[in-house]
Amino acid sequence: MPATDFKDYYAILGVSKNAEEGEIKKVYRRLARQYHPDMNPGNREAEAKFKEINEAYEVLSDPEKRKKYDQFGQYWQQVGEGGFPGGAGPGGFDFDFSQYGSFDDFINELLGQFGGFGASPSGQQTYTYRTQPGGPTGFGGFSDFPGFSQVPGMSADAEAAIALTFSEAFKGVEKRLSLGNETMTVRIPPGAKPGSRIRIKGKGQLNPYTRERGDLYLVVEVQPHVFFKFEGENLVCEIPIAPDEAVLGAQIEVPTPEGAVKLNVPAGIRSGQSLRLRGKGWPRPKDGRGDQIVRIQIVPPKDLSAVEREHYEKIRASRSFNPRSHLHGVRL
């Protein structure tokens, strides 16, 4: 059956792929009565619909046929025959689908299934092809192939995750990757962020019809850092300060990706307030760097010396400021 003639028997009956035999039979009886020629004399559309319903029920009511249909889509009939009539599949290729459990099994066999993403014994990173979202679970046909009818299916492009440290992502790095028997060096530009996609042209999956390869997209994963975090386009960190620094103000050192800088903390700052270091954040693809946001956390000392305790007690005794004065009179 050509890919363009593929019929979704579940959609024809209006049931889910997980529908039980009893539900399928019940729906079939209702639809068969609704579209039966005796109930619709002279109605050719109803007659065609009645034939489709019977065809769908014939396959889905038979456990063996349904199993093959679920696994291989429009090619389910060829499975029992050991391949396509005349020995040739779509595009003139000879495929025996009876040895595969699903569409993905077939593709992985066609391309060669590679090891999971990680480090190989030689230190190179390896990755596995993944189909793009929306790929079929059975042999529903290929899509996005030049010169071939577009049907719901798999793109020739592929995805793989690549893990970077914060330093590698910030500065950029060259990675040596292994793709089956093929190795390549990939340049990751400075400023890669979690979810960034690096396109490698012509290193995707093989198009079995044109014998051309799609593109490979490396999806960046950045390992967590103990100090820096991402927040939108900015880099965020948290800096502790002492109570006297919060009251009187201070000049403190703050780490940035390229070294420590001086930051003026204004007097009277509150815990949770943020200060901005302009141009000290994450590299932008086209224009310089973003900002680094410094969140202030006021941290009281746990262990006080005798002198410190004495001074804090004097401050408490003479303090005129009441931070809870605005709560007087609050009630339900």
CA-to-CA dists, residue 90 to 87, 145, 152, angstroms: 10, 12, 16
User: In this predicted structure, what is the pLDDT of residue 101?
Assistant: 54
Which residues, at least 6 apart from 293, have a Cβ–Cβ distance to it below 8 Å?
231, 234, 235, 236, 237, 274, 275, 276, 277, 281
Per-residue tokens: 203: 């290193």
Give the tens place of pLDDT for each residue, 200-220: 888 888 777 677 888 888 999
Q: Which of 149-158, 222-231, 304-313 has the lowest mean pLDDT?
A: 149-158
pLDDT at residue 295 greater than cutoff 50: yes
Spatial contact of 282 and 193, defined as CB atoms under 8 Å apart: yes
CB atoms < 10 A from the CB of 92, how many? 8
| Calpha distance 108→130 (Å, rounded) | 9
Over range 216-233, report the average pLDDT.
91
- H/E segment holding residue 278: none
Q: How much is the pLDDT for 148? A: 30
Residue 221, C-beta contacts closer than 8 angstroms, at least 6 positions apart: 161, 162, 163, 164, 194
Examine the pLDDT at 260 and tell me if it is beyond 90.
Answer: yes
Mean pLDDT of 166-187: 87
Mean pLDDT of the chain: 78
Could you give the domains of the chain?
Answer: 3-87 (1.10.287.110), 100-222 (2.60.260.20), 229-319 (2.60.260.20)
Look at residue 113 and tell me whether its pLDDT is greater than 60: no
What pLDDT score was predicted for residue 99?
Answer: 54
Within 8 A by CB and 6+ apart from 270, the residues are 246, 296, 298
- Percentage of residues in the chain having pLDDT higher than 70: 73
Question: What is residue 174's predicted lDDT score, i.e. its pLDDT?
Answer: 93
84 pLDDT band (50/70/90 cuts)?
A: very low
Average pLDDT over residues 273-282: 95
Task: Give the pLDDT confidence score for residue 119 in this predicted structure.
Answer: 40
Confidence of residue 90 (pLDDT cuts 50, 70, 90): very low
DSSP, residue by residue, 300-324: --SS--HHHHHHHHHHHHH----TT
How far, in Å, CA of 269 to CA of 297, rounded? Answer: 10
Distance separating alpha carbons of residues 250 and 244, to the nearest angstrom: 9
Is this prediction's pTM over 0.85? no
Average pLDDT on 231-259 reads 94
Average pLDDT over residues 179-188: 82
Binning pLDDT at 50, 70 and 90, where does residue 270 land? Answer: very high
Rounded to whole angstroms, the Cα distance separating 324 from 63 reads: 74
